[in-house]
Amino acid sequence: MRARPWPVFLARKAREFVLAVAALVVLTFAIVHLIPGDPARVIAGVDASSEQVDAVRTQLGLDLPLGTQFLDHVSGLLRGDLGESYRTGQPVTDVIATRLPFTLSIALVGIAVTLVVSLALGLAVAGLTRGNRNPWLDSAFGWVTAIVLALPVYVVGAILIVLFAVTWRVLPAGGASSAAAYILPTLAIASGPIASMSRLVRREAAVVLEQDFMRTARGRRLGRVREYARHAVPNLLASTLTLSGLILAGMIGGAIVVETVFAWPGLGRAVVESIIERDYALTRGIILVIGVAAVTLNIVIDIVLAAVDPRTLRAGRALV
């Protein structure tokens, strides 16, 4: 294991992935049954008789013991079958396949924007305030990011709609009919993570910029951009990526709220509608897919971190 750190590291990450997915399967199955209301009654209609409701419940398999329902659910997952929507009868996989691209588009673009902007912003503020210079900038940066972090994502979305769609009328307020419609949802979902990660980068950069190797780089007069790109950024990536996994994974969950605000036809709106309509199968499938996406993102970031900072491999190997 000492001679082959990468196989051991990847095996540990694969084990973590399997355990996390197994926990998600159990939790999603249990959570949807805690949602108040009877899906059979919703599907049959408020005027349906008890016999009709019982017939619907039998058709959906809701009259079976929970243990049997869980085993049937796991068996379907192993076959790649997430079940059928209680309301429409459409396979859950088809619903997810139709809506997932919309959710992934704003989530992945939001993640890319967050990484680039937060790294550039945090590093720029750290450089401009190095050595107690421009204290007003440091104070303003702290106040602005704190305010952004305090605002819920739906409030940020509403503010963006009022400014850009209602007042200035330069961007659409919702829907996904054009490329411009992607801008506001992406800004809404990335605003909080940018504020959080830029504060992290600014704090870490303040330490890195005072190291001896940075003083040597400044003495070589490489130019500010080359100096930071070649010497500061590589040393910031390890500490930034360590915490960014949790922040970026949270963006996938934040997409649910953003899609509701902007009438975005993604998984977020679908899961809200399925909860309201007591569509257990659809709710369970969407939450499971979102959870697996978040776990996958965290593992990918861990792998990137290990490639950037090999010390992660050695630290992890001691735990195996």
pLDDT at 222: 65
* Of 316 and 60, more confident: 60
Of the ranges 92-96, 127-131, 163-167, 246-250, which one carries the lowest mean pLDDT score?
A: 246-250
pLDDT at 3: 57
Closest CA relative to residue 182, chosen from 117, 273, 113:
113
Q: How is domain 100-310 classified at the CATH fold level?
A: MetI-like fold (1.10.3720)
What are residue 84's DSSP bridge partners?
91
pLDDT at 319: 34
pLDDT at 1: 47
pLDDT in tens, 184-220: 999 999 999 999 999 999 998 988 888 877 777 777 7
Q: What are phi and psi of 84, to 5 degrees?
A: -120, 150
* Of 165 and 39, more confident: 165
d(C-alpha 194, C-alpha 138), whole Å: 16
Instruction: Give the angle 216-222-225 at the CA atoms, nearest 5°.
Output: 110
pLDDT at 314: 62
pLDDT at 317: 39
Average pLDDT, integer, range 256-283:
86
What are residue 91's DSSP bridge partners?
84
d(C-alpha 79, C-alpha 68), whole Å: 17
Three-class secondary structure assignment of 48-81: CCHHHHHHHHHHHCCCCCHHHHHHHHHHHHHCCC
* Of 245 and 151, more confident: 151
Say whether pLDDT at 146 is over 60. Answer: yes
pLDDT at 249: 72
pLDDT at 315: 55
* Of 74 and 221, more confident: 74
* Of 92 and 276, more confident: 92
d(C-alpha 253, C-alpha 189), whole Å: 10
Closest CA relative to residue 302, chosen from 104, 24, 20, 102:
20
Could you tell me if 242 and 176 are in contact, meaning their C-beta atoms sit under 8 angstroms apart? Answer: no
pLDDT at 268: 84
Of the ranges 18-32, 63-77, 250-264, 292-306, which one carries the lowest mean pLDDT score?
A: 250-264
pLDDT at 304: 84
Could you tell me if 252 and 189 are in contact, meaning their C-beta atoms sit under 8 angstroms apart? Answer: no
Of the ranges 19-23, 27-31, 96-100, which one carries the lowest mean pLDDT score?
A: 27-31
Could you tell me if 285 and 93 are in contact, meaning their C-beta atoms sit under 8 angstroms apart? Answer: yes
Residues whose CB falls within 8 Å of the CB of residue 49, separated by 6 or more in sequence, listed in order: none
pLDDT at 190: 92
pLDDT in tens, 41-80: 877 877 888 898 889 888 888 888 889 999 998 999 999 9
* Of 240 and 115, more confident: 115
Considering the chain, what is the average pLDDT of its residues? 85
